[in-house]
Amino acid sequence: MHDTLHRLFSFKAWADDQLLTALAGLGDHSPVTALAIKALSHTYVVDRIFAAHLRREAHAYPSANLSEMPTLAALAADIRRSDLEYIDHVSTLDPAQLAESIDFAFTDGAPGRMSREEMLMHVVTHGAGHRGQVSAVMLLHSVPPAKDGFTAYLHEAEAPARRRNCLVASQASLRAGSASRGLPST
């Protein structure tokens, strides 16, 4: 699971960067940017709240939403820094630490208890959901969304090995298809 978490947080950082870069191209006055800042600032706050829970520390957030919205540039810098912190953090955890349950309080005061692994999975899936919301807003405003799928990440992050293997598989598939239709193979 350790390698899986590292890969998922590396993907999260990449996907966040893809979206933040696309939003930066729209400018600060775009209605898409304003809505994206609201969704992504919420995601950032939740990431930071759970980072504190993982360390068994208090956090300074009275809510999972900010009362004042940051600029896109400031939020982007904060998100990128937080993503790198999570990548570093998951690299240091052993299986016993991942399984350890931690008691905490949600921002509404309700008690919570999750393992570190569950908290980390929440951070990854929560962020993906809100990136999807922002992509939907982009589409509604006729703006192409960022390419942020896991397969796109794998083929960009591991491009040389994956492209080579894809080419070999494609050629083999073409030969097999040609042979099944009675065509000569190349």
Determine the number of helices (DSSP H) and then strands (DSSP E) in the chain: 7, 2
Structural domains counted in the chain: 2
185 lies in which domain range?
149-186
> What's the pLDDT band for 169 if we cut at 50, 70, 90?
low
**Residue 126 marked ligand-binding:** yes
Tell me, yes or no, whether 132 and 175 share the same domain. Answer: no
Beta bridge mates, 102: 114
Two tokens, residue 137: 């807003």
The CA distance from 90 to 80, in Å, is: 16
pTM of the model: 0.84
Tell me, yes or no, whether 72 and 158 share the same domain. Answer: no
Task: Residue 39: name the closest of 139, 137, 149, 144 by CA.
Answer: 137
Tell me, yes or no, whether 66 and 135 share the same domain. Answer: yes
**Residue 42 marked ligand-binding:** yes
Tell me, yes or no, whether 90 and 113 share the same domain. Answer: yes
Quick one: pLDDT at residue 155?
85
Tell me, yes or no, whether 73 and 155 share the same domain. Answer: no
List the end-to-end C-alpha distance of the chain, in Å, as a whole number: 42
By percentage, how much of the chain surpasses pLDDT 70?
Answer: 84
pLDDT at 183 over 60: no
Tell me, yes or no, whether 116 and 128 share the same domain. Answer: yes
More reliable by pLDDT, 54 or 148: 54
Tell me, yes or no, whether 101 and 182 share the same domain. Answer: no
Q: What is the DSSP letter of 143?
A: -
Tell me, yes or no, whether 11 and 93 share the same domain. Answer: yes
pLDDT at 168 over 70: no
> What's the pLDDT band for 29 if we cut at 50, 70, 90?
confident
**Residue 2 marked ligand-binding:** no
51 neighbors 86 (Cβ within 8 angstroms): yes
Tell me, yes or no, whether 157 and 74 share the same domain. Answer: no
Task: Residue 28: name the closest of 65, 66, 69 by CA.
Answer: 69
More reliable by pLDDT, 85 or 165: 85
pLDDT at 178 over 60: no
Tell me, yes or no, whether 179 and 96 share the same domain. Answer: no
Two tokens, residue 162: 């994956």
Quick one: pLDDT at residue 131?
96
